Amino acid sequence: MGKSQRAETSDTGQLVKASQAGDRGAFDELVLLYQRRAMKVAIWVLGDAEQAAEAVQEGFVKAYLSIGKLKEPKRFEIWLCRIVANAAIGQVRAAKRRAEKIKIVDHYRGKKTLSPVERQNAEDLKESIQQAMSKLSKKEAKAISLFGLEDLSHRQVAEIMGCSVKATRWHVFRARKKLKVLLREYLE
């Protein structure tokens, strides 16, 4: 842990304690400190910035409402990442349900054919990743998303996941295996 990171952790601890004591300003500072981290987690899970923003807002509201339950203030970051990841996973599930509802309509509309050039388009990639992520289990989606965040160690990912490092790696392996099939067009 570097000097700046340690300073940030101790600041976080104080801000969390102040928030727990009812200091609104302290929680607002926590939002400023961690909104980027939360957004990264949500984007990796959801693959879309707009949806991720929704999940991040939901995550911060949940964190605000339950901050009193956080026993170790220094572990706020891990705790927040878990909340945001769960909120994002919840959105993936909701989107999947919505998609299933309109599946029949799409069937009659005919399948959209895309040229290889179009496929390179970031928008298409985003949609494909979103669809692929919705096919993963909750744990697989969470694990692959958190593993992608370079600044999170495997141990931290495991802590957020609530399981061992080995188990987390297994979920990542499974997720990659599924994604390999689901995103094969982009991997060729």
Site residues, other proteins (CB under 8 A) = 24, 27-28, 31-32, 35-36, 39-40, 43-44, 47-49, 52-53, 56-58, 60-61, 64-65, 122, 125-126, 129, 144-145, 147-148, 163-164, 166-167, 169-170, 173, 176, 179-180, 183, 186-187
CB of 6 to other proteins, least distance (A): 25
Pick between residue 6 and residue 180 the one whose CB is nearest to other proteins.
180
Pick between residue 60 and residue 82 the one whose CB is nearest to other proteins.
60
Cβ atoms of residues 90 and 46 within 8 Å: no
Tokens of 152: 């999170």
CB of 28 to other proteins, least distance (A): 7
Pick between residue 5 and residue 121 the one whose CB is nearest to other proteins.
121
CB of 123 to other proteins, least distance (A): 9
For 11, list phi and psi in degrees, rounded to 5.
-60, -45
Pick between residue 7 and residue 181 the one whose CB is nearest to other proteins.
181
Contacts 24+ apart (CB under 8 A), 73-76: 73/12, 73/13, 73/14, 73/16, 73/17, 73/20, 74/9, 74/10, 74/12, 74/13, 74/16, 75/159, 76/12, 76/13, 76/15, 76/16, 76/30, 76/34
